């Protein structure tokens, strides 16, 4: 049962063939059985999930229509989303034991849609990282090879769906934290258009880039989840007040495998040195597949993309240094050293020292540096100008093509420990995913096969508010490519 | 441009209210140096381009207003529920003024 897609499970639950309680329990059992090997979950809420499932079953028994197309299908929620009365740590010691007094909008929408929340998934601390090794609660392991990383920051979510602990998950993507974990675990990961999904209750890392989105095993499942969580929210002033693109319809249309009339641009900057040969081979095969489906494929150069990584690693740390000032040990979170002899400032410094891990400290200091007077123009100011150039490159590209494609990541999953002491090597994992965040566009990763036995992702990018375009192309590609996850070894 | 010394890291840490140990200063100084050296690349491209306005946000932002009416917020109990220390319905904090003040 746990290997079925969310769409299949939903259909069977709504038809009364199986109960949501049984489906939810089967996934809870799976978590009990395999999570010792993966550490994908930081907290499992069996009671809450089963209660939500029982409510859906009662509706079905009473002959009521399902409250949403995914009612009764359980989900794993990244621990960066607040859940009222359920622990929310963001992978940090600072928030150990914190019980939020409110639900994030995404959490509320899931509850209203009758989606049982199995628990909270592991992540790099405050979503800063590309491997989930920066979690204060230990790394998550890749179910394809438990000596390797599951991507990051949302490695818990990607590992959970790849290992059939959950059919669906929520991630957040600031520089690739949904797409890169999707790529290295053979799953689908979507970063919607910036502002498409509310950030209310998403613990902020870099507010102009953070965007929540769906993680799933199929493109249609991702689309179904996308429609549930998306939409304007008055609680988030950066939420876009526009209709949600019809991503479910686009995924269904794409599944017919016809891309006649669709123009696809291959980003020429994303290949060459630093790219694993197997990744490039898989990408080439995917491009040929798109051509075979009827798409017109052209090469597109976006020269400023070469500067996206450095711009991102100035903008994101700058915003993080400001956002994380809220962890001041006064109103919530860890407080240490308050012995009556020390000032608030001393307690603040001691608490932040004890509560934050090395990567968070590095980024706060980089941000503090980049925003200092004397360095502001050269660093933060220049990075903001690069952001303009990247937006212009995208705009020019989308005048010629409907979607852009590239590998999602330069390499397959690396070994746990391999890059922890070399921050720049770690940052390179985000090379191809960052431009879409800086421009606020939509982008997603779909599995494109294996290289040396490990999954590779195809990235499909689309203009802001044209998320449906990429879903159509992804679904067509998926139907031609066939499943990748059926090759995953048993845990 | 950058060449980050231990003292500069200590200064940044102080500005950011981050306690750091001597060992951390030894680790962070060369790491921050490498990162800043690498990201300094942004000034190259911009230097060659004329007339590039900065982008602070991908979406054009306008201020969002709503009617000024009372709405349900957190209760006092909820707001204090995560406090490291509370007293008489308020957050209890360490002293914020120095002896001489």
The predicted-structure confidence for B73-90, as pLDDT tens digits, reads as follows: 999 999 999 999 999 999
pLDDT at B101: 47
- Burial zone of A482 (CB within 10 Å; 0-12 exposed, 13-18 middle, 19+ buried): exposed
pLDDT at B10: 96
pLDDT at B46: 74
CB proximity under 8 Å: B 74-93 to A: 74, 78-79, 81-85, 91, 93
Tally of CB atoms within 10 A around A288: 11
Please indicate whether residue A78 is annotated as part of the active site. yes
Asked if the model's pLDDT at residue B45 lies above 60, the reply is yes
Percent of chain A with pLDDT over 90: 98
What is the side-by-side strand order in the sheet with A296-300?
Answer: A41-44, A117-121, A75-78, A168-172, A212-216, A188-191, A442-451, A454-462, A403-407, A263-267, A296-300
CB proximity under 8 Å: B 8-47 to A: 9, 12-21, 24, 27-28, 31-32, 34-36, 38-46
Residue A104 dihedral angles phi and psi, to the nearest 5°: -65, 160
Q: Is A388 on the interface with B (CB under 8 A)?
A: yes
Tally of CB atoms within 10 A around A258: 15
For residues A472 and A253, is the Cβ–Cβ distance under 8 A? yes
* Contacting residues for A354 by C-beta, under 8 A, at least 6 apart: A93, A334, A336, B19
B98 and A343 in contact by Cβ < 8 A?
yes
The domain segmentation of chain B, as residue ranges, is 1-48
* Contacting residues for A370 by C-beta, under 8 A, at least 6 apart: A314, A317, A318, A376, A379, A380, A383, B39
- Burial zone of A28 (CB within 10 Å; 0-12 exposed, 13-18 middle, 19+ buried): buried
Considering only CA atoms, which of A243, A250, A292, A156 is closest in space to residue A444?
A250
DSSP states along B1-65: -----HHHHHHHHHHTT----HHHHHHHHHHHHHHHHHHTTHHHHHHH-SS----S-SS------
pLDDT at B99: 58
> Omega before A153 cis (within 30°)?
yes
Q: Is A358 on the interface with B (CB under 8 A)?
A: yes
- Nearest 5°: the CA angle B60, A248, A250 is 80
User: Which chain A residues are closer than 8 Å to B20 by Cβ?
Assistant: 353, 361
Distance CA(A351)–CA(A463), nearest Å, equals: 42
For residues B1 and A370, is the Cβ–Cβ distance under 8 A? no
What tokens were used for A440?
A: 């606020």
pLDDT at B100: 53
Considering only CA atoms, which of A167, A262, A165 is closest in space to residue A491?
A165
> What would the pLDDT profile of A198-225 be if each residue is shown by its tens digit?
999 999 999 999 999 999 999 999 999 9
Distance CA(A223)–CA(A468), nearest Å, equals: 9
Please indicate whether residue A177 is annotated as part of the active site. yes
pLDDT at B66: 87
B38 and A321 in contact by Cβ < 8 A?
no
Q: What is the average per-residue pLDDT within A370-382?
A: 92
B96 and A344 in contact by Cβ < 8 A?
yes
Alpha-carbon torsion angle A124, A127, A129, A130, nearest 10? 90
Q: What is the ipTM of this complex?
A: 0.93
For residues B45 and A304, is the Cβ–Cβ distance under 8 A? yes
Distance CA(A471)–CA(A222), nearest Å, equals: 9
Asked if the model's pLDDT at residue B48 lies above 70, the reply is no
Catalytic residue (one of A131, A135, A163, A177): A177
* Contacting residues for A74 by C-beta, under 8 A, at least 6 apart: A20, A23, A24, A27, A49, A53, A115, A116, A117, A118, A166, A167, A168
Q: What is the average per-residue pLDDT within A342-368?
A: 97
Please indicate whether residue A153 is annotated as part of the active site. yes
Domain made up of B1-48: CATH architecture: Orthogonal Bundle (1.10)
Asked if the model's pLDDT at residue B49 lies above 80, the reply is no
Q: How many CB pairs under 8 A join A and B?
A: 182
Q: What is the average per-residue pLDDT within A439-467?
A: 98
> What would the pLDDT profile of A271-309 be if each residue is shown by its tens digit?
988 999 999 999 999 999 999 999 999 999 999 999 999
pLDDT at A380: 94
pLDDT category of residue B50 using cuts at 50, 70 and 90: low
For residues A450 and A164, is the Cβ–Cβ distance under 8 A? no
B45 and A102 in contact by Cβ < 8 A?
no
Distance CA(A71)–CA(A54), nearest Å, equals: 11
For residues B26 and A363, is the Cβ–Cβ distance under 8 A? no
Distance CA(A46)–CA(A56), nearest Å, equals: 16
Tell me the Cα Rg of chain A.
21
List residues bridging with A263 in a β-sheet.
A296
> What would the pLDDT profile of A16-58 be if each residue is shown by its tens digit?
999 999 999 999 999 999 999 999 999 999 999 999 999 999 9
pLDDT at B65: 87
From residue A228, how far is each of A89, A113, A306, A480 by CA, in Å?
A: 24, 7, 35, 27
pLDDT at B3: 77
> What would the pLDDT profile of A132-191 be if each residue is shown by its tens digit?
999 999 999 999 999 999 999 999 999 999 999 999 999 999 999 999 999 999 999 999
Alpha-carbon torsion angle B12, B15, B17, B21, nearest 10? 30
- What is the DSSP code (8-state) at residue B85? S
Closest Cα of chain B to A104: distance in Å?
A: 14
Q: What is the average per-residue pLDDT within A383-390?
A: 96
Q: Categorise residue A297: left if φ over 0, alpha if ψ from -120 to 50, beta otherwise.
A: beta
What tokens were used for A180?
A: 């890169």
User: Which chain B residues are closer than 8 Å to A344 by Cβ?
Assistant: 93-96
């Amino acid at each position: 049962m746990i290997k079925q897609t969310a769409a299949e499970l939903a259909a069977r639950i709504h038809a009364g063939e199986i109960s949501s309680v049984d489906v939810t329990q089967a996934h809870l059992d799976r978590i009990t059985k395999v999570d010792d090997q993966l550490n994908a979950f930081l907290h499992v809420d069996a009671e809450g999930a089963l209660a939500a499932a029982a409510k859906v079953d009662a509706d079905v028994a009473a002959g009521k229509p399902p409250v949403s197309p995914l009612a009764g299908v359980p989900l794993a929620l990244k621990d960066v989303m607040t859940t009222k009365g359920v622990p929310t740590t963001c992978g940090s010691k600072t928030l150990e034991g914190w019980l939020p007094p409110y639900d994030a909008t995404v959490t509320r929408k899931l509850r209203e849609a009758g989606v049982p929340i199995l628990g909270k998934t592991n992540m790099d601390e405050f979503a800063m990282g590309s491997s989930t090794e920066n979690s204060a609660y230990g790394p998550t392991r890749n179910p394809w090879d438990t000596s390797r990383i599951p991507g990051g920051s949302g490695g818990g979510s990607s590992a959970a769906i790849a290992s059939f602990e959950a059919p669906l998950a929520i991630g957040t993507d600031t520089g690739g934290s949904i797409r890169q974990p999707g790529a290295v675990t053979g799953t689908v990961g979507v970063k919607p258009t910036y502002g498409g999904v509310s950030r209310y209750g998403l613990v902020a890392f870099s507010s102009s880039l953070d965007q929540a989105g769906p993680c799933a095993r199929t493109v249609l499942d991702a689309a179904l989840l996308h429609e549930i969580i998306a939409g304007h929210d008055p609680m988030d002033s950066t939420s876009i007040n526009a209709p949600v693109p019809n991503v479910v319809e686009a995924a269904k249309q794409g599944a017919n495998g016809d891309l006649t009339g669709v123009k696809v641009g291959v980003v020429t900057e994303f290949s060459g040195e630093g790219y694993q040969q197997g990744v490039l081979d898989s990408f080439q095969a995917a491009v040929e597949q798109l051509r075979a489906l009827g798409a017109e494929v052209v090469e597109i150069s976006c020269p400023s993309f070469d500067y996206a990584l450095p711009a991102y690693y100035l903008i994101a740390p700058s915003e993080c240094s400001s956002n994380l000032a809220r962890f001041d040990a006064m109103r919530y979170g860890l407080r240490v050293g308050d012995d009556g002899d020390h000032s608030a400032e001393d307690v603040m410094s001691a608490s932040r020292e004890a509560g934050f891990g090395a990567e968070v400290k590095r980024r706060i200091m980089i941000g503090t540096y980049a925003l200092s007077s004397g360095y502001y123009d050269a660093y933060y100011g220049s990075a903001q100008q690069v952001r303009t150039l990247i937006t212009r490159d995208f705009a020019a590209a989308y005048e010629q093509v409907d979607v852009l494609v590239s590998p999602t990541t330069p390499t397959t999953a690396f070994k746990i420990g391999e890059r922890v002491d070399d921050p720049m090597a770690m940052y390179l994992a985000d090379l191809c995913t960052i431009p879409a965040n800086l421009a606020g566009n939509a982008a997603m990763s779909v599995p494109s096969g294996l290289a040396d036995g490990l999954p590779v992702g195809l990235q499909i990018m689309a203009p802001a508010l044209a998320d449906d375009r990429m879903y159509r192309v992804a679904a067509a590609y998926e139907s031609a490519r066939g499943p990748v996850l059926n090759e995953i070894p048993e845990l | 441009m950058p060449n980050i010394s231990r003292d500069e890291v200590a200064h940044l840490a102080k500005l950011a209210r981050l306690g750091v140990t001597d060992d951390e200063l030894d680790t962070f100084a060369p790491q921050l140096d490498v990162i800043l050296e690498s990201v300094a690349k942004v000034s190259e491209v911009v230097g060659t381009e004329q007339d590039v306005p900065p982008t602070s946000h991908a979406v054009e932002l306008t201020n969002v207003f709503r009617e000024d009416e009372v709405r349900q917020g957190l209760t006092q109990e909820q707001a204090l529920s995560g406090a490291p220390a509370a007293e008489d319905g308020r957050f209890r904090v360490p002293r914020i003024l120095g002896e001489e003040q």
